[in-house]
Amino acid sequence: MWNQARIAAAALAVVLAAAPFASAQTESPAKAQPDQGANAPAKPDANVPDEKLDKAAAAIGQVFALKQTYTQRLQSAPEGERQQIADEAKTALTKAVTDQGLSVEEYSKILQVAENDTAVRDKILKRMHSKGAD
């Protein structure tokens, strides 16, 4: 049981570190909107609904597995094939998130909240652990 919790925590840490990669996959409409308080620090809303946390936890597991697969493929691929593999990875990662009912932007925001808010991070970890125990 402790091993599963460590794996879930490691998966979340890897995905949190990769959040900029996931958010770079689509153009964010929020970036086109004017700032709502130029002096306020950029902190995502910590009130993430439970339904979104469930979806994010499910997506994290898939994203983690895909990142491992594509990282290995990229490392062993000839230089000429790497761009194609990277494009496949972006498509697969986006699909892993959107198949859970989240946009890449929503997913990235949830990861930002989890990175900065231990309560949200713990909720996601619990969901990941409970999915792994099923």
Between vectors from CA 95 to CA 70 and to CA 132, what angle results, nearest 5°? 75
Concatenated DSSP letters for 63-122?
HHHHHHHHHHHHHHS-HHHHHHHHHHHHHHHHHHHHTTT--HHHHHHHHHHHHH-HHHHH
pTM of the complete model:
0.68
Provide the residue-wise pLDDT of the chain in tens; the chain has 134 residues: 445 555 555 555 555 555 544 444 434 334 333 343 333 344 555 688 999 999 999 999 899 899 999 999 999 999 999 999 999 999 999 999 999 999 999 999 999 999 899 999 999 999 988 865 55
